[in-house]
Amino acid sequence: MGKFINEHFASSFQKVATFRVVGGQKQGGNVAAYFCAPDGRVLHVVAGPVDSATFLREARWVVDTAKKGIELSKGDGAAFKTFFRKAHAEKLRAETGLVVEATTFDPPSPDEGDSALSFRDPTGRPLAPKLPPPPIDGPDVRLEEKQFKAQQAAEAGAPGARLMVDRRGNRLVLGNQGRVDTLLAGHVMAPIEKIYGTIFENILGEKISKKPVEVVTPFPWVKNSKTNGN
Amino acid sequence: MQGAAPNFFPLFSSYLQDSIVADYGREIMKPFIAILAGAILLGNYQPAQAEGCSGHGTTINFYDTPKEAAKVAKKEEKLVFVLHVSGNFEDPRFT
């Protein structure tokens, strides 16, 4: 896996959130892997910890899809973005049986963080926005009910599986990766600083923080229960 | 098996010298060659550490900042991989 990553990617890491250490034990904390274009625009994300086979599969998917996108778009950035968003929608359909319409046009945003009304952190940076995912249309009509139920049962066992609602109000289950694909069907090629807040807070359920580690000592008056004889 | 015991060293020259010896050598050495190749390709994969990189105990070369990684990616026509983590990545107890 390391060989593939070093061959196709230049890698780096950032600390974006914290975790708690309670009684010497790590609690919480999470990880997100972003595959980006060299200008920092996000092509794909793996949210949460996954095994090496899953990680390698996702990394290969990005490389293959990017190669195909470059070939088909012939230097047209808008065509490349459209292709990649559709690829995420297709990946979601293939893996979960759910249909989402890829957003192929980004309207100009009225608030890009430069407005006097935008919230900023103490260092003056605007807060990471929470991007809305495009709505899920519902199950793929080509699937039989039995097939879709089997896919939903599999999805219920996926990491981070959560209840979602489609356009018609039907309740569905979607794991972390399914929700990432839904989000990216509408926001691929957005800069990493615009996406990471949504990934870490809305998908992984973590709070973004600059604290390195939060050490919690719930009973500070208890030094050592053995020596106290309690 | 007929004849003298095959000389496996050097492996590849004895492999091709005598057909009987070669057959014997090929059969005996097959699993060893497979294990050796596997070890070279997987287990013992040591990435060449580029300047400004650290592996942090992994086989992936991590540049110190995403900016540096982006610069290298642009130069070498690669994509950028950015890992967002909670807490101390440098401390193996907390990753």
Same domain (yes/no): B60, B31: no
Continuous H helices in chain A? 2-8, 52-73, 77-96, 145-156, 176-187, 192-197, 225-228
Quick one: B58 and B39 in the same domain?
Answer: no
Which residues of chain B make contact with A17, given a CB cutoff of 8 A?
84-87
In a domain, B4, yes or no: no
Asked if A219 has any chain B CB less than 8 Å from its own CB, the reply is no
Contacts of B62 in chain A (CB under 8 A): 11-13
Q: Tell me what pLDDT residue A106 has.
A: 82
B36 and B59: one domain?
no
Q: Is residue B32 domain-shared with residue B65, that is, in the same domain? A: no
CA distances (Å), origin A64, targets A4, A58, A61, A81, B78? 12, 10, 5, 15, 13
Considering the domain boundaries, does residue A173 fall inside one?
yes
User: Under a CB-based contact definition with an 8 Å cutoff, are residues A130 and A116 in contact?
Assistant: no
Task: Say how far apart CA B80 and CA B93 lie, in whole Å.
Answer: 26
Is ipTM > 0.90 here? no
**H or E element: which one contains B22?**
helix B19-38
Distances (CA, A) of B18 to A37, A81, B15: 55, 61, 7
Q: What is the pLDDT of residue A58?
A: 95
Asked if residue A223 is part of any domain, the answer here is no
CB atoms inside a 10 Å sphere around CB A82: 19
Please count the CA atoms within 13 angstroms of the CA of A127 that sit on its side-chain side: 14
B41 pLDDT tier (thresholds 50, 70, 90): very low
Cross-chain residue pair B80–A10, CB shorter than 8 Å: yes
Residue B57 has a pLDDT of: 67
Closest-CA residue in chain B for A64?
B79
Strand-pairing partners, residue A15, are B85
Q: B72: distance to nearest CA of chain A, Å? A: 6
My answer on whether B89 and B65 are in the same domain is yes
CA distance A218 to B94: 19
Q: Do B87 and A18 touch (CB under 8 A)?
A: yes
Which one-letter DSSP state was computed for residue A208?
A: B
CA distance B31 to chain A (A): 24
| B82 contact residues in A (CB cutoff 8 A) | 11-14, 33-34, 36, 192
Residue with tokens 């034990």: A25
Q: Does residue B83 lie in a domain region?
A: yes
Mutate to test the interface with A, among B42, B67, B81 (most CBs of A within 10 A): B81
| Domain assignment of residue A8, given as a range | 2-104+119-216
In a domain, residue A58? The reply is yes
Q: What is the enclosing helix (H) or strand (E) of B35?
A: helix B19-38
A173 touches chain B (CB under 8 A): no
Domain count, chain A: 1
A21 part of a folded domain: yes
B6 assigned to some structural domain: no
pLDDT tens digits for range A24-57 = 665 567 889 999 999 889 999 999 889 999 999 9
Residue B36 lies in a domain: yes
- Of A159, A175, A188, A203, which is closest to residue A98 (Cα–Cα)? A175
Average pLDDT, chain B: 60
Whether A30 contacts chain B with CB within 8 A: yes
B90 and B59 both lie in a single domain: yes
Q: Which 8-state DSSP code applies to residue A127?
A: P
Q: Kindly state whether residues B38 and B60 are assigned to the same domain.
A: no
Containing domain of residue B76, as a range? 53-94
Chain B closest-CA separation from residue A16 CA (Å): 6
Let me know if residue B69 belongs to a domain.
Answer: yes
Q: Does A38 touch chain B (CB under 8 A)?
A: yes
pLDDT, tens digit (0-9, with 9 covering 90-100), for A143-195: 899 999 999 999 999 998 999 999 999 999 999 999 999 999 999 999 998 89
Domain-embedded: residue A111: no
Please report the pLDDT score of residue B32 as a whole number.
Answer: 44
pLDDT at A2 over 60: yes
**Mean residue pLDDT across chain A:** 84
Residues B67 and B34 in one domain: no
Contact assessment for residue A121 and residue A112, using Cβ atoms and an 8 Å cutoff: no
Sheet containing strand B62-63, strands side by side: A42-47, A31-36, B79-86, A9-17, B62-63, B53-54
Residue of A9, A13, A66 lying closest to B89 (CB–CB): A13
Which residues are CB-contacts of B53 (< 8 A; sequence separation ≥ 6)? B61, B62, B63
Confirm or reject contact between A11 and chain B (CB < 8 A). Answer: yes
* Inter-chain residue contact A11 with B63, CB threshold 8 Å: yes
Q: Given B59, B61, B84, which is nearest A200 (Cβ)? A: B84
Comparing alpha-carbon positions, the chain B residue that sits nearest to A208 is B86
Collect all residues of chain B within an 8 Å Cβ-Cβ radius of residue A8. 78-79
Q: What is the DSSP string of A152-168?
A: HHHHHTSTT-EEEE-TT
Q: Among partner residues B61, B76, B86, which is closest to A11 by beta-carbon distance?
A: B61
